[in-house]
Amino acid sequence: MQTQPTILRPPRLAPGARVALVAPAGPLLERDDLIRGVALAEALGFAPELGAHAAKRHGYLAGRDEERLADLQHALADPRIDAVWCLRGGYGVTRILDRLDMAPLRTRPKALVGFSDITALLLAAHASAGLVTFHGPVARRPMTAFTRRGFERALASPEAAGLLETLPVPQGVLVPTENRIATITDGVAAGRLIGGNLSLLHCLIGTPWFPRLEGAILFLEDVSEKLYAVDRMLAHLRSIGAFTNLAGVAIGRFTDLTRGGADGALGLDEVLATYFGPLRVPVAAGFPIGHLDDQWTLPIGVEAELDATQGRLSLLEAAVQ
C-alpha cells in the first residue's frame, strides 16, 4: 500500500465549467446516451466537451484500449478542462490504468466523477495524486432531484460539510424496509471516506492503487453479484488485513443480488455481520450508494462522520475549494 500523498481538492464547478465527457469502460449502446450526457451537462450549467472516441465500440468496451486511454489522458492533461465526468461504467478501466499518467492532476487538480467500474479510476487518482475524487452518477443516466442536490452540493459548493440527505422511509407501513438504514454495529466514528464498488476494490488488491484503509470509513456497493461471490471478496479483503484498522463501514446497496442456489442461502446481513461485526466499529447498511436512480455523490478522501446508530453520514469538510 502506498503512503498517502497530500490531499488535493479540485476547484468547485462554477457555471460555465468545461467538463469532459468520456467513456473509459463499457460502450454506449444507444446514440441517445451521448445526446443525454451532453444535455445533462448543459442543463447543470456546464460546457461539455465530448471525448473524441466516446461513441466507439469494441465488443464490450467503448473502443480499443488506445482510444479510451487517449480520451481519458487528454481530459486529465488539458488545462482547459475543469472536470472529467464518465458517461458510464461497465468494464475496461483496469485495462488502461497502468498506462495512465496521473501527474497532470497534481499541478491542475480537477474533479473526476463516476461509479461502478469507474471506482478503479477514482481510487487510482486518489492513491497516485492525493486527489479528492467523486463516487457519483454517470452522465448518461437521467438525474433525479435527489441525485442532483447531492451532486451539486459535493461538486459546486465549498460549504458542503454537514449531514447528507437520506431518502424518506415510506409512511403508513408497519415495518418499512424501503430506504431504511439498518444498524449492524452501533456507534459513531470519524475518518476519511474511501471505497466504491466492491468488485473493483477487490480487483485493485496487489496493485499500486489499492487504497490505504487505516482509520477510514469504508463504503461499498455492487450490482448483479451472487452472494457467495460477495462473501468471497470480503474474505479475501479480510485475509490481507484490509479491515483491521477501519474506523467504520457504510454499506450502500447491493442491487440485483442473487442470494441462493442449489446449496442453500445466507442473507446479506449475515454475510456483512460475519466480516464487519467482529471489528467492533460502527457499521450500517442501506445508504443511497450504488446502482440507484437516487444516489449520493461521495467525495473520496475527505473526513466524514458515520453515526451507525442513527443511520447518518456527515461530511466534516468540503470536497472542493
The set of catalytic residues is 116, 221, 291
Calpha distance 34→31 (Å, rounded): 6
Three-state helix/strand/coil letters over the chain: CCCCCCCECCCCCCCCCEEEEECCCCCCCCHHHHHHHHHHHHHCCCEEEECCCCCCCECCECCCHHHHHHHHHHHHHCCCCCEEEECCCCCCHHHCHHHCCCHHHHHCCCEEEECHHHHHHHHHHHHHHCECEEECCCCCCCCCHHHHHHHHHHHHCCCCCEECCCCCCCCCCCCCCCCCCEEEECCEEEEEEEEEEHHHHHHCCCCCCCCCCCCEEEEEEEECCEHHHHHHHHHHHHHCCCCCCCCEEEEEEEECCECEECCEECCHHHHHHHHHHHHCCCEEECCCCCCCCCCCCEEECCEEEEECCCCEEEECCCCCC
